[in-house]
Structure 1
């Protein structure tokens, strides 16, 4: 091949690389996020105990699909164990809640980006519903959104085939570490009353894989939402290699 042809091939390769960098998103550049927040009380109510709805959510201008997903997940958190279909929008939920709410009732919904790294967007969802009991009920959830795959990752998407049992064994070790750090392992009644359980709330955060628990799952209400952390080195051979931070 002549020098002129080699030069032409090199120029073409550079041009193709430039085109790819233009048309493919840079996964190291975080997605743009915009916050939207509001609080409204029941129409016509003028006292200090008016029912209210507080919504604090996020939007992704470049990812309308992710926008819709966040709203859908927040709406699912409003169900409070009801089997009816969730409201069609946050505005519809607000109207419905305020129409039926009694004095001092309140509902809070929040979505926030906890982290962005390696082409992953980790979104944390929070809720708090007070309908007049001894205390309100908080809720939590995660979205692990892969920009490369354009989808929300389930636990099965995260793990290598056949490694789910090994994953939960590592989670149990994290639970034992948590018991020791809180000194709850020295209380036999606590250990018996609040044994280890699985959770659907899993996040691929940069520092460690996080498992978050609803209140009353592995600890009493007063201890809030317990977080267990599994260091990534313990997940070698369990978690898909491309999901380790820095390897994406």
Structure 2
């Protein structure tokens, strides 16, 4: 009898172990200052929405990262990340009022289905694609990279790259003034690197090669990533050049600008 109980116990332990392994599948660790941040991927496809079971839906491929909220920093990062992802849908005619990403996608579906009801003869399709990954992680800083494409009719959709720099200890989203101890000095250096890459002579108008910086004055882009070895600047379409030019990217070795960095 005891042998039978022992056998059942072994089977139970094996089953429990396999179940735990399965539940943790896909969970990755990001090492922080004092403890690890665990994150996993959240995904949405048309099949995940009730509205798509009875009516035609737009193309949907949404994949983004969520941190397990076992520490306060993870909660902060999830909150900031969710808000930034929802803003992607603000490129539609009406700004999203959704409280989470799934609700924002659902609004996008409703907009498409309402459009099809109003204009049943239209061949226009809607599409949203979002992907997200950890670009870099250090003891103090985590950088998320988000790539997205949104199409709601017209000649072309809009795609962009967005970076988010987070303080691993606090979970705070960091802005330019947080990342740099001397933002003006870094901006001056970045302008020299930009001119060198695009062959614009010193003293020559920064827009002489077809760029359209406001008031003919160089400015940093909205998207800056401070990685382990480099500072990456990305100007998305329309930010400093035409749509046809695509995104403009400038990558600066970190050792050249360390004196102006906080991270």
Report the CA distance between 1:39 and its aligned residue. Answer: 1.5
Between the aligned partners of 2:238 and 2:175, the Cα distance in structure 1 is: 24
Task: Provide the residue aligned with 2:109 in structure 1.
Answer: 98
Report the CA distance between 1:43 and its aligned residue. Answer: 4.1
1:1-248 correspondence to structure 2 within 5 Å: 27=33, 31-40=37-46, 42-45=52-55, 50-61=57-68, 62=70, 63-80=74-91, 84=95, 86-101=97-112, 102=116, 103-160=124-181, 163-180=182-199, 191-194=209-212, 196-240=218-262, 243=263
Instruction: Tell me which moved more, 61-70 or 90-99.
Output: 61-70
Q: Contact conserved, 1:54 with 1:109, CA < 8 A, in 2?
A: yes
Report the CA distance between 1:176 and its aligned residue. Answer: 2.0
Between the aligned partners of 2:145 and 2:89, the Cα distance in structure 1 is: 15
Structure 1 counterpart SS, 2:64: strand
Distance 1:92 1:238, change over 3 A: same
Output one character per residue of 1:28-61: Cα deviation in whole Å (capped at 9) or x when no partner. Answer: 8763221122211744345xxx412221011111
Q: Contact conserved, 1:209 with 1:230, CA < 8 A, in 2?
A: yes
Distance 1:52 1:209, change over 3 A: same
Q: Contact conserved, 2:62 with 2:129, CA < 8 A, in 1?
A: yes
Q: Contact conserved, 1:130 with 1:137, CA < 8 A, in 2?
A: yes
Output one character per residue of 1:203-240: Cα deviation in whole Å (capped at 9) or x when no partner. Answer: 11112111111112233334432221222233243223
Between the aligned partners of 1:83 and 1:99, the Cα distance in structure 2 is: 12
Distance 1:237 1:119, change over 3 A: closer
Q: Contact conserved, 2:187 with 2:219, CA < 8 A, in 1?
A: no
Report the CA distance between 1:113 and its aligned residue. Answer: 1.2
Report the CA distance between 1:26 and its aligned residue. Answer: 5.1
Distance 1:85 1:133, change over 3 A: closer
RMSD: 2.8
User: Aligned pairs, how many?
Assistant: 206
Q: Contact conserved, 2:45 with 2:60, CA < 8 A, in 1?
A: yes
Structure 2 counterpart SS, 1:191: coil
Distance 1:81 1:107, change over 3 A: closer
Q: Which blocks of at least 5 consecutive residues in structure 1 are unaligned?
A: 1-24, 181-187, 244-248
Q: Contact conserved, 1:74 with 1:111, CA < 8 A, in 2?
A: no
Report the TM-score, using the length of structure 2 for normalisation: 0.68
Between the aligned partners of 1:172 and 1:189, the Cα distance in structure 2 is: 12
Report the CA distance between 1:97 and its aligned residue. Answer: 1.0
